[in-house]
Amino acid sequence: MRIVTLLAPLIARLAPFARRLRPRYPRPGRTGWRRWVPSCRQWLGVVSTAVGLTGLFLAVAYAVTDIPEDLNAYATQQDNVYFWSDGTPMARTGWVQRQAMRLKDIPEDVRWAVLAAENESFYSDPGVSFKGLTRALWRTVGQGDTQGGSTITQQYVKNVYLNQDQTVSRKFTEAMIALKLDNRLSKDEILEGYLNTSWFGRGTYGIQRAAQAYYGKDANELNASQAAFLASLLKGAGLYDPTLSAANHHRAVERWNWILDRMVKIGRLSPSERAGYRTFPEPLKQNPLYDTGQQSDYLVELASQYAKKAGHLSDRQFDLGGYQIYTTFDRKREAALDDVVTKARKKVRQTDPDAAATAHYGVASLATDGRILAVYGGPDHRKQGYNESNAGTVPAGSAFLPFVYAAGLEHGVVRRRDAPREKVTPRSLYNGDDGVPVSTPEGPYWNRSGKKVTAHNDGRKSWGRITLREALAKSVNTPFMQLGMDTGLDKVKQTSQAAGLLSSSMGPQVPALSLGSSTPSAIRMASGYATFAAAGQHVEPYSVRRVTRNGSAVRLDLPDAHRAVSAQVAGEVTQALADSFRSAHPDAAPAAAAVSGKAGIVADDTAAWYVGTARAVSTAVVVYRMDLAKSLEPLPLKGLAGTAADSAPYDIWAGAMGPLR
C-alpha cells in the first residue's frame, strides 16, 4: 500500500497519456473500415513499447549471461604426437586429433582464407551478426533448423562452450556469450581459438591437424590455394572433401574458387597471385597421420613413460594432450629389426608350430650414449601388451660373464682370509675344469643342503688352467664362478648395476649370481655392454630427447654420463668380447672392424642370448619360450634358438646391426 501511495501522483500524471494510447473502437470521427484502424500515435506507442521491452530484455539477458568456466572436453583435449629421431611423425595417441598452434605461427594467407570464407568483417564486428542472427532465428521458427548467420566469434563459442543443438535457446545463448567474449578477449585470441578448435573432417580438429591430414604438411607451410580449400571444409567436411565423391569434388572446386575471389575482393590477395592459382590443389587421398599398432605401440609405451618421468608430468596432464614427443628411435633400424624378427618367427612356424606358439623374442639396440634406437617388444601390442624388450623374465646365463670379469679387474680379489686385495689381469690364470668346487677365503662354499657347490661348463668340458681373457672369449664358466667369489658378490652386483643393470633384476647373492642367475631385460643388457664400448662411461637408457607442448619446450631431466668402471677395464672387457666374436664368427666382419659380442646360454636351456656392439651401437637379443596364458615360468627351448653354429639370437643380432664394417 505504501508503494501505491507513493506512485499515485505519478500514475495520475501519466493517466491522460495512457488514455490517449488506449484504443477506442470504433474510432469516433471515422467512417467505414477506418473506424477500426489504430491511429499513428497508437502505432508509435506500440512500437516504442516493443522496442523498449526488447531492449530491456536483451540488457537483462546480457547481464545475467556468464561466460562458462568449463570448456567442452573436445575443446581442450588434444592428441600427443610422437616423432622418429629424424623428425618424421611416428605415431599419435589420444581420442581427439588436435594440436594447437599459436596465431603468429599461422600464415596470413591461411588466416584470411578462413576469414574470407566465414566472416570477412571479423575484425570490425561486435562478435555477433544481428542480421544473420535474425535470419537464423527466422529459419528456426519457419523451417525447424538454424543455418548461417554466425560470426567466427559465435562459432568459436559454440565449439568451446556449448553443444551443437540447433535450437533457438542455444542460438540466443551463443549470441550473448559471443558479445561478452568479444569484449573480454582480443580478436586475435578469438581467431586463434577458432582455428584450433574447428572441425575439418577426417577426424581432425584445428588447422594444424587439417593441414597434415589433407596435405601431409604443417599449417605454416600452406599456400593461399591450399588454405582456401581447407577453409571450404568449415562449411561441412562431408560435403566438401573431394575424395568422397564426384559431387563433393565439384562443390569443393566451386567454393575454393569463390574463396580465392573473395580474398581478392577484400584486398587480401592480389590479382596476380590469384592468377597463379588456377589448378585445384588436390588433397591426399587419405589421412596420412599414422595411428599406433604393432611395434609402434611398444615404442609409444616406452616414450610416454619416459616423457612423463623426465618431464615431471602427471598422467592427467599428459592425457590432456598437446605434447610433441621427439624420440630417439631410428626409423630404419626399427624397420630392419622388425623384419628380421618377423622372418625368424616365420621360420619357426614352418619347422615347429608348437614351439612357435610360445616363442618370445626380446631385442633392443642402444647407442653408447644411452639413446634407445630400436626395440622389438612382441608381435603386436594390441594382442600382447607385454613388452619383451623391457621385461626381466629369463636369466642372462653366460651373457652375464663380462660383468663378473669387469668387477674382478676393477676391484681385485681376496683369496685368503685377512689378506689384502690383489690385482687380477686378463692374463691371470684360473682353473677351467668342469666340476671344480667353489671356495671362499675361509674354505669351500657349502650350500644349505650341506653339499659343496661346484661349477660346470657347457657340455661339461674341462679346459685346464686358462686365462681370464680366454675364459671369457670361450665362455668357460668355472673360472668366473670362482672369480665372483674372490672379488666378492657384492662387488659383482655393484659393478653390474653401475654398468646399467637394475637392482630389481639381480639374482640372489650366492655363487650362481656369477653364472647369470639375474634376469635383466634386453634393454638393460644392451645398456651394460654399451658401457664397456663407451670406455666405462654409463648413460641410463632414454627414449625421448625433446618434448614440446604446442610449440613451447618442456624441461626434461635427461641422464648424464657417469663412470661405471675405468677406461682400462672397459677396454679389457671389450677386447675379450671382440675375441669372443671373432672366434665364433671369424668371417662375419672385416679384420679392421671394431665388433665385439658374446652368446649367452642358460644352464637349464630356457633362454638364449646374443649381445654385442659395433659402430657405437649395442644390441641385445633374447629368445625364450613362455605360455603367458598359463604362467610366467620359462619353458625349455627345444631347439628354438638353433645351434651354436646356427644361432637364432646371433642371426637376429646380425640382421639388426646390418653390415659389420
Concatenating the DSSP letter of every residue in 391-414 gives ---S--GGGGHHHHHHHHHHH-B-
State mean pLDDT over 94-110.
Answer: 84
How many whole angstroms separate alpha carbon 221 and alpha carbon 216? 10
State mean pLDDT over 265-283.
Answer: 94
Q: Which DSSP category does 260 fall into? A: H
The residue with cell 567442452 is 72
pLDDT score of 628: 81
Work out the pLDDT band at 499, boundaries 50, 70, 90: very high
**CATH fold match for the domains 96-276 and 397-518:** no
Task: Pick the range with the lowest mean pLDDT from 42-46, 595-599, 619-623.
Answer: 42-46
CB 80 within 8 A of CB 99: no
pLDDT score of 426: 97
State mean pLDDT over 266-280.
Answer: 94
- In the sheet where 359-367 sits, what is the strand order? 372-376, 359-367, 617-625, 607-614, 595-601
Cα separation values, 587 from 474, 583, 590, 620, Å: 17, 9, 7, 21
As a three-state string, the secondary structure of 319-378 is HCCCEEEEECCCHHHHHHHHHHHHHHHHHHHHHCHHHHHCEEEEEEEEECCCEEEEEECC
Q: Which residue has the higher pLDDT, 163 or 359?
A: 359
Q: What is the pLDDT of residues 502-527, one digit of tens each?
A: 999 999 999 999 999 999 999 999 99
State mean pLDDT over 302-329.
Answer: 90
Q: Name the phi and psi angles at 150, rounded to 5.
A: -100, 135
CB 319 within 8 A of CB 80: no
Q: What is the pLDDT of residues 240-258, one digit of tens each?
A: 999 888 999 999 999 999 9
Cis peptide before 16 (omega within 30 of 0): no
Q: What is the pLDDT of residues 420-466, one digit of tens each?
A: 999 999 999 999 999 999 999 888 888 887 788 998 998 899 999 99
How many whole angstroms separate alpha carbon 658 and alpha carbon 340? 10
Work out the pLDDT band at 147, boundaries 50, 70, 90: very low
- What is the residue type of 389? S
Dihedral angle computed from the Cα positions of residues 274, 280, 285 and 289, in that order, rounded to the nearest 10 degrees: 0
Q: Which residue has the higher pLDDT, 446 or 97?
A: 446
Cα of 76 vs its chain's centroid, Å: 18
Work out the pLDDT band at 34, boundaries 50, 70, 90: low
SS3 171: helix
pLDDT score of 385: 77
| Element containing residue 239 per DSSP (H, E) | helix 237-240
**What percentage of residues in the chain have a pLDDT greater than 70?**
81
How many whole angstroms separate alpha carbon 169 and alpha carbon 154? 14
Task: Pick the range with the lowest mean pLDDT from 107-111, 186-190, 229-233, 526-530.
Answer: 186-190
Rounded to 10°, the helix 187-197/207-215 angle is 40
Region at 651 (left for phi over 0; alpha for psi -120 to 50; beta for the rest)? alpha
- What is the residue type of 293? G
Average pLDDT of the chain to the nearest whole number: 85
How many whole angstroms separate alpha carbon 122 and alpha carbon 116? 9
Each domain of the chain, given as residue ranges in start order, spans 1-64, 96-276, 397-518
Task: Pick the range with the lowest mean pLDDT from 18-27, 256-265, 408-417, 522-531.
Answer: 18-27
Q: What is the pLDDT of residues 162-173, one digit of tens each?
A: 554 455 555 656
Cα separation values, 471 from 29, 410, 467, 479, 484, Å: 130, 17, 6, 7, 14
pLDDT score of 172: 59
Looking at the domain covering 96-276, what would its CATH class be?
mainly alpha
pLDDT score of 169: 54
User: Cell triple for residue 551?
Assistant: 610449440
Looking at the domain covering 397-518, what would its CATH class be?
alpha beta
pLDDT score of 377: 93
pLDDT score of 26: 65
pLDDT score of 291: 55
Work out the pLDDT band at 64, boundaries 50, 70, 90: very low
SS3 439: strand
Work out the pLDDT band at 59, boundaries 50, 70, 90: low
pLDDT score of 383: 76
pLDDT score of 61: 47
State mean pLDDT over 299-326.
Answer: 90
Cβ neighbours for 89, distance < 8 A, ≥ 6 positions apart: 81, 82, 83, 212, 289, 290
**What percentage of residues in the chain have a pLDDT greater than 90?**
55
Cα separation values, 138 from 61, 126, 134, 141, 195, Å: 20, 21, 6, 5, 28
State mean pLDDT over 354-370.
Answer: 93
Cα separation values, 539 from 429, 505, 575, 653, Å: 33, 18, 21, 22
Q: Which DSSP category does 471 fall into? A: H
Q: Name the phi and psi angles at 362, rounded to 5.
A: -110, 125
User: Cell triple for residue 258?
Assistant: 569463390
Specify which residues 642 forms β-bridges with: 647
Q: Is the dihedral of CA 165, 168, 172, 178 positive or negative?
A: positive
As a three-state string, the secondary structure of 136-161 is HHHHHHHHCCCCCCCCHHHHHHHHHC
User: Cell triple for residue 279?
Assistant: 589448378
